[in-house]
Structure 1
Amino acid sequence: MTMSPEEADRFAFVHELITRQLEGTATEQEQQQLQDAVTSDPNVRREYIRHMQEVTHITSRLVAPRPGQEFSKSSVLGQTCSTGPLPPSDAEPAITSDALTPAPHRPLGVSFLGVAASLAIAATLLLAVSIPFWMSDGRNDQNTIASKPPSTGQPSDKTAALHGTEVATLVECTNVVWDSRSNAVNELSRVGIGQNISFHRGRIKLVFDSGVETLVLAPCYLNIQDHNRVYCTYGRITAKASAGGKGFAIETPVARVTDLGTEFGIAISESGETEVAVFEGEVDIELGAPDARKTQNSQTKREHLVQGQATRVDHSGRSKRVFSIDNQRMPGVRDLAPMHHDEPVIAAVRDNISERHPESRMFYRIVHAGLREDSRAFVDRTHQWNGLDEDGMPRELLGADYVMPFNDDKFAGDLKVRVAIARPATVYVFFSNNTKVPDWLASGFIDTGLDIGLDEGANRYKPSKRVAAGPGKSIDNTFSIWERDVQSPQELELGSFERPVEFKRGYNMYGIAAVAK
């Protein structure tokens, strides 16, 4: 069959990126590009599914396993959820974590498990973006869900009538230990309304048929209440919604959080106290326990949070600002893995803004071991840190802990930012070269002579501006890198700076990073 030019371009685009992914040569930007394309374009999605089916079939026929090892579905599709350590079956050897590590690209002699590992990566993407579309066309099996304990939240009559209707798929579980065998859920299983999910170790990914992706971290106890609503008694959930997932809601003992087209994180303590942070977009929060909100009706207290804002709701329904949130405690759904697994260097960040503006809800995001090309620079902007040229950012910064402040901090004339350093480290400040160096920086830090670039996204002055992928591209401003040696755990105080006289290209808040000694 002859392809149209558009179909030929799409075919070449998908197959090139998939090939790089399977060979292990795809960059982080290329992997993200493929994921975004498969998520947003049904034609690309169909091409991706068709290609992966062909690759899996060919691989299983042409690449032989190593002696003494067999290839199974579980080795392609990731780790198997379990209720605890189980002895390996006599019929099938255990798959170790080493076997799931992608092998470097080699010619046709590449090992079977190396191919399996690459396919595991591809399968994860395939399942995450395709299952909601396969399952949301009205053909869901109406399988009965096994009897579960009653949930804390009170379902409506309509929800009770739909009990057992499957609404989501568990697409991934990592090191999961379920609270009991009776509530264990196998990877790739469907979950339905009324089903409880309870585990005390590990993390899972649930993809709802509406297009909402959720990352759930232990310990957690949640109940699926509807096709777009869950009740979480305790635990941590990050949700990312596509256009079809708008309106996804998470109920907690003290609040109801409703997505308005966003990515947000939520952490519920075992006492019910709830923290909410918005990474992109916006959410509505109804404050107070579910029963209290029903009796209050229109008098229910509400908050509206946008990107870069966070709040903590207590048992009385009162809220207050959360100063900092780290990516280990509340990761994004698609966050890249940390570049190493050392103990965190930056423990917490606070400022004095709430003293003058108690209504402020802006938070600092701490990213452990996460600084790399195209790292988001600020919680309230799409700006990214990059190297000035193709050589990339200075190597000593790669994998550093870093802070995403809010860029609007630059307007605070008497700002004080307190950064808690947990261990001996070199602390860095990235300071804009178009701005006068303040006394606190000149006296407390040393200019290394190195620079880092900022790739800015759209703003009111440059609405069509977009960030680019990779070092040395689309650099809008340069920042000098200042350093300070910290010999023991302590709190550093950083300050404000003057608005530059000439700022036609804009000016920005400084960046903060730290590397353990």
Structure 2
Amino acid sequence: MTPSDASGEHARAVDSILAHLDGTISEEELRALDEQLANNPDVAQAFVDLACLEGNLLELHQRDLVEASAADLLSEAGISLATRRRTPDVVQPASRGNVILSHPIVSTAAALACMLLVGLGVAWRTGVGSADVTSPRFAQVISSVDSLWARDYAPDPEGWIPEGLAKLERGQIELQFGTEVHVVLEAPAEFEVLNASEVRLMRGKMAARVNGELADFHVHTPMAEVIDLGTEFGIAVEPHGETAIAVFDGKVDVSPEKGRSVATEAQAVRRLNAGEGLLLDRLGTQRRIRSVEDDTFPSLTPTRRPVPSSTPPLIAGIRDNLRDEDSPKFYRVVRGGLKEDALAYVDREHEWNGVDESGIPAELQGADYIMTFNEDKAASHFEVVLTVGRPARVYVLFDDRGAKPKWLTTGFVETDLNIGVDEGPTTNHLDYDIATGPGTSVDHVFSIWSRDLLEPGDLTLGPRFGGHSRSMYGIAVVPLPATETN
């Protein structure tokens, strides 16, 4: 492809992106754009840039100012605004924030103006990387690990994030918004602090915890707006805008970012509770996240990521027969995380602990484990399929209250080991409380069963049985000793 061919293809892609933002794109054009987004990183980045910057213009300026600013910029670049007009068959007025769009040309002009601002190196708002002490101070870096900022996109000497775009090229940082909000960002990340309770994440991974009374923290991505309702959650944004959201505690409301269309009314605003998440692809379609792993989102304490390994993971997958693609429920895979006070379930505050001061059995210390759903304990037709990526020893941690199911007694071997569960308050036991350390607040004892898998593959586990008065079993996996794989 010649340079002129590449330039022409990119220009056509920009036209399609603008038509998509305007809502005037045809089905054929949409399919072609989807293919370009998947295969051309430059087009994917243009999509993100135009979407985010268009949103900034639309939120900050009234319609007439936007049209005038866009026209001036285009004129300076030698482009006639009339030549960029796209007249749709049907024009439907839409409201975006405080700006009423009576014609898609406003959106198109705003997007083109944003594109020119980027191309000409103009910093939007107060200037990229500005260290002006008069700028509002909303978020401060309070800790970091291996962090490297892009030139002219860094915090000021005191760690305050300036207005405008910030780019983190390597490592992790912890931001504090006042005393209520803590955010950890993982590179490569591009973000913008909008005010004391609002941030825009264009690319990268983030974890957030909101404490105290504040329950109105907003995170904008190219595809979604996430409103915290007092919680702990994670967000990951891919370079082409695809957004993954998971809630670990509390709840959030998720809605399409301003100007985005939705497939159904139910998708307009969706509430996610602890143990729930969703994936918004680059076209705005909502999909299920089956499992969340350690590297899906950063932890709430900046950490140094291990060097990626070519060794297949012990836990390569987890799925069940109860939830379809519309379910927001996800399993959580915690690699090397089975230790004292580790959370047992995605939908409860219960913790694993040693039954006495000797602690969790050494065989299970540091095992990979799966946080299951305690609500599945009474599902009579339940099946879960565990996929292991290499030879492994699988442990089932089973509530000793009640009879053992046949799939467990015939497919696993009972060990002489036990583990305890420290339960938080429940409807039946409001007096329960969480304590710290082994043997200090164990409410129930679980027996430990094992099975060796000599090759990678699937293992199906059955229902818990026993009703609501029993707890769901846990699953832990460790490497099979080399002497036992021969």
TM-score normalised by the shorter chain: which range applies? 0.5 to 0.7
Matched with 1:197 is 166
**Residue 512, structure 1, aligned to residue 479, structure 2:** no
Between the aligned residues of both structures, percent identity stands at: 35
Q: Quick one: which amino acid aligns to residue 491 of structure 1?
A: D
2:229 is matched with which residue: 257, 260, 278?
A: 260
Give the Cα–Cα distance (whole angstroms) in 1 for the partners of residues 304 and 404 of structure 2. Answer: 34
Secondary structure in 2 aligned to 1:443? helix
Matched with 2:374 is 407
Q: Residues 246 and 340 (structure 1 numbering): CA distance in 2 closer, same or farther, change over 3 Å?
A: same
**Residue 326, structure 1, aligned to residue 293, structure 2:** yes
Q: 2:174·2:301 contact (CA, 8 Å) conserved in 1?
A: no
Secondary structure in 1 aligned to 2:259? helix
Give the Cα–Cα distance (whole angstroms) in 1 for the partners of residues 244 and 157 of structure 2. Answer: 28
Per-residue deviation, 1:509: 0.6
Post-superposition Cα deviations, 1:307-327, rounded to whole Å, max 9, x if no partner, equal: 111111223433222110012
Q: 1:338·1:368 contact (CA, 8 Å) conserved in 2?
A: no
Calculate the TM-score normalised by the size of structure 2: 0.68
Matched with 1:229 is 198
Matched with 1:172 is 143
Q: Quick one: which amino acid aligns to residue 146 of structure 2?
A: N
Matched with 2:121 is none
Q: 2:223·2:260 contact (CA, 8 Å) conserved in 1?
A: no
Per-residue deviation, 1:380: 0.7
Matched with 1:453 is 420
Matched with 1:241 is 210
Q: Residues 173 and 335 (structure 1 numbering): CA distance in 2 closer, same or farther, change over 3 Å?
A: closer
Give the Cα–Cα distance (whole angstroms) in 1 for the partners of residues 334 and 156 of structure 2. Answer: 31
Q: 1:274·1:314 contact (CA, 8 Å) conserved in 2?
A: yes
Secondary structure in 2 aligned to 1:329? coil
Compare 253-262 and 359-368 and name the one that shifted more.
359-368
Post-superposition Cα deviations, 1:456-491, rounded to whole Å, max 9, x if no partner, equal: 111111123211111112211111101111222222
Compare 452-461 and 418-427 and name the one that shifted more.
418-427
Q: 2:184·2:302 contact (CA, 8 Å) conserved in 1?
A: no
Q: 1:425·1:516 contact (CA, 8 Å) conserved in 2?
A: yes
Give the superposed CA RMSD.
3.0
Secondary structure in 2 aligned to 1:410? helix
Matched with 1:126 is none
2:258 is matched with which residue: 273, 285, 290?
A: 290
Per-residue deviation, 1:223: 1.3
Q: Which has the larger radius of gyration?
A: 2
1:478 is matched with which residue: 435, 439, 445?
A: 445
- Count of residue pairs brought into register by the alignment: 358
Select the structure with the greater relative contact order (CA < 8 A; seq sep ≥ 6): 2
Q: 1:340·1:399 contact (CA, 8 Å) conserved in 2?
A: no
Per-residue deviation, 1:453: 0.7
Post-superposition Cα deviations, 1:192-233, rounded to whole Å, max 9, x if no partner, equal: 3x3322123211111112521011112211111222111111
Give the Cα–Cα distance (whole angstroms) in 2 for the partners of residues 442 and 464 of structure 1. Answer: 34
Secondary structure in 2 aligned to 1:354? coil
Q: 1:171·1:188 contact (CA, 8 Å) conserved in 2?
A: no
Per-residue deviation, 1:160: 5.6
Q: 2:173·2:302 contact (CA, 8 Å) conserved in 1?
A: no
Give the Cα–Cα distance (whole angstroms) in 2 for the partners of residues 318 and 213 of structure 1. Answer: 29
Secondary structure in 2 aligned to 1:236? strand
Matched with 2:279 is 312
Q: Quick one: which amino acid aligns to residue 166 of structure 1?
A: R
Q: 1:340·1:369 contact (CA, 8 Å) conserved in 2?
A: no
- Could you list the runs of 5+ residues in structure 1 that have no partner in the other structure? 1-148
Per-residue deviation, 1:187: 7.6
Post-superposition Cα deviations, 1:237-256, rounded to whole Å, max 9, x if no partner, equal: 11001124421111111110
Give the Cα–Cα distance (whole angstroms) in 2 for the partners of residues 349 and 227 of structure 1. Answer: 39
Per-residue deviation, 1:331: 3.6
Q: Quick one: which amino acid aligns to residue 319 of structure 1?
A: Q
Post-superposition Cα deviations, 1:79-138, rounded to whole Å, max 9, x if no partner, equal: xxxxxxxxxxxxxxxxxxxxxxxxxxxxxxxxxxxxxxxxxxxxxxxxxxxxxxxxxxxx
Q: Quick one: which amino acid aligns to residue 218 of structure 1?
A: A
Per-residue deviation, 1:335: 8.8
The equivalences for 1:143-158 within 5 A come to 152=53, 153-154=55-56, 156-157=59-60
Post-superposition Cα deviations, 1:159-206, rounded to whole Å, max 9, x if no partner, equal: 96999311011112211233x3221337851113x3322123211111
Q: Residues 347 and 411 (structure 1 numbering): CA distance in 2 closer, same or farther, change over 3 Å?
A: same
Give the Cα–Cα distance (whole angstroms) in 1 for the partners of residues 186 and 274 of structure 2. Answer: 22
Give the Cα–Cα distance (whole angstroms) in 1 for the partners of residues 456 and 168 of structure 2. Answer: 35
**Residue 384, structure 1, aligned to residue 351, structure 2:** yes
Q: Residues 421 and 338 (structure 1 numbering): CA distance in 2 closer, same or farther, change over 3 Å?
A: farther
**Residue 183, structure 1, aligned to residue 153, structure 2:** yes
Q: Residues 308 and 335 (structure 1 numbering): CA distance in 2 closer, same or farther, change over 3 Å?
A: farther
**Residue 251, structure 1, aligned to residue 214, structure 2:** no
Give the Cα–Cα distance (whole angstroms) in 2 for the partners of residues 423 and 435 of structure 1. Answer: 33
Q: 1:339·1:399 contact (CA, 8 Å) conserved in 2?
A: no
Per-residue deviation, 1:340: 12
Per-residue deviation, 1:300: 7.6
Give the Cα–Cα distance (whole angstroms) in 2 for the partners of residues 205 and 424 of structure 1. Answer: 37
Q: Residues 337 and 499 (structure 1 numbering): CA distance in 2 closer, same or farther, change over 3 Å?
A: farther
Post-superposition Cα deviations, 1:247-269, rounded to whole Å, max 9, x if no partner, equal: 11111111100100000011111
Give the Cα–Cα distance (whole angstroms) in 2 for the partners of residues 341 and 393 of structure 1. Answer: 28
Compare 344-353 and 424-433 and name the one that shifted more.
344-353
Give the Cα–Cα distance (whole angstroms) in 2 for the partners of residues 464 and 339 of structure 1. Answer: 41
Q: Quick one: which amino acid aligns to residue 515 of structure 1?
A: V
Q: Residues 334 and 187 (structure 1 numbering): CA distance in 2 closer, same or farther, change over 3 Å?
A: farther
Give the Cα–Cα distance (whole angstroms) in 1 for the partners of residues 282 and 139 of structure 2. Answer: 30
Secondary structure in 1 aligned to 2:434? coil
